[in-house]
Amino acid sequence: MTTAIIEEKSQVEPPSNDSSQTVSNGLEPDRRNMQGWEPISKIYGGETILIGFDTEYQAHKGQNNVLSYQYFACDPSGEISWNGIFYPHKTKRRVKLSWFIVHVITEGRKRCKLSRWPKRVYLIGHFTLADLTTFDDFEEFKTEFDAIRRTYCTITKDTAIVCWDVDRHEHKIILILRDSMLLSPAGMQSLKAVGRLVGVEKLELNPGEIENMRKLLATDPKRFEDYALRDPEIAVRYCVRIMILNQELFGEADIPPTLSSIGINHLLRIWEDSGVDKHKVLGTEEHVSQTWMPSLGRYVKRRKTVPTADRFCHESFVTECYHGGRNEQYFFGASAIADWIDFDLCGAYTTAMALIGMPHWDQMRPTKDLNDFQPHVLG
């Protein structure tokens, strides 16, 4: 469990002394006079919010100096949103991830976008490995997340954090990390391509500016902020669309960790609707065990999906035999001048997989006869 105790008061903007914020009940200012106030229908009070995060930095002497942390936050529909940017050079140090989360939520409440603290936060980045390392406490929390395809994401378990507001009230939050790059279609994994999918164009900089962001911040801070704030918005807007798709397909308002996981869940749903037993197809079975829980003072049933004995006995051999695709090079150097033809079967993998019937896991046997491997044989 990660505990977020907010002590970095020097990083929080001082409270406003605007006299127009009249006190309505003697305890807190009248929200109707606050900047950014909107009717109650535009204030989100649900349990889940999405926070997109991004950083801009300048390379200097082999180290990345963080210039800004920016965010885009919204409710699951994407209709109620707010964004912001924070410059760590004012405090001469990087911020902690825990402070960043609390800062975004606090700003949402100050701007009357949130009526209460959320219980679940989707933290979203595009190639999270690059930006998570810019937080001051990265070494402390990096083990809370899972490494997948050279980036970070939440897969095995959610991260529980405890946050404290300015009144020292405790708020327990479930933090789920998502990487929009892992949810992007093949060939469209750049942030620019993802932006086109959701109709939010990524802003472009002039040649040489991306390598010298410090100069851009000093000479044109407005364009720097426009560029910086656009990236987390693209990531969040795309994840909102994925969440809506997941809701339509499976009735679950969640953001899956990868795009392929949506396909797997869709396939399992098709099997279930068609009356196909997934355990018979996959050669698995459910194993039930009893685990003693000291906190409950009793045994608790644990269900776990494991391979059947027949599959388990042969699985290691089959795994060792798999080496992926094979490319051949029959000569070295430039080829002869001729017409070269590369034969390829369109949809070869899906066509071959369509031939697979119900596997007979209990009839598995080794063979050295190549004639045993026919089109209808799974081997």
pLDDT digits (tens, 9 = 90+) for 284-308: 999 999 988 888 889 988 899 999 9
Identify the burial level of 66 via C-beta atoms within 10 angstroms of its C-beta, where 0-12 means exposed, 13-18 middle and 19 or more buried: buried
Q: What is the mean pLDDT of the chain?
A: 86
pLDDT at 294: 87
Beta strands in 61-91 (DSSP E): 63-74, 81-86
CA–CA separation, 179 vs 153, rounded Å?
6
pTM (predicted TM-score): 0.77
Q: pLDDT tier at 15 (50, 70, 90 boundaries)?
A: very low
High-pLDDT (> 70) share of the chain, %: 88
CA–CA separation, 144 vs 142, rounded Å?
5
Other C-beta atoms closer than 10 Å to the C-beta of 335 total 8
Q: What is the C-alpha R_g of the chain?
A: 27
pLDDT digits (tens, 9 = 90+) for 47-99: 999 999 999 998 877 788 899 999 999 999 999 999 999 998 766 789 999 99
CATH T-level assignment (fold) for domain 2-12+30-250: Nucleotidyltransferase; domain 5 (3.30.420)
Q: How many CA atoms lie within 13 A of 63 on its CB side?
A: 5
Task: Give the pLDDT mean for 118-122.
Answer: 97
Check if the beta carbon of residue 82 is closer than 8 Å to that of residue 111. Answer: yes
pLDDT at 335: 80
Identify the burial level of 109 via C-beta atoms within 10 angstroms of its C-beta, where 0-12 means exposed, 13-18 middle and 19 or more buried: middle
pLDDT at 33: 58
Task: Give the pLDDT mean for 345-349.
Answer: 83
**Which H or E element spans position 98?**
helix 97-110
pLDDT at 350: 84
CA–CA separation, 258 vs 179, rounded Å?
8
CA-to-CA dists, residue 358 to 29, 32, 173, 354, 363, angstroms: 67, 65, 44, 11, 12
Domain boundaries, the chain: 2-12+30-250, 277-321+351-379
HEC secondary structure over 145-192: CEEECCEEECCCCCEEEEEECCCCCEEEEEEEEEECCCCCCCCCCCHH
High-pLDDT (> 90) share of the chain, %: 63
Got the DSSP string for 240-298? HHHHHHHHHHHS-----SSHHHHHHHHHHHHHHHHT--HHHHHTEEEEEEEEEETTTTE
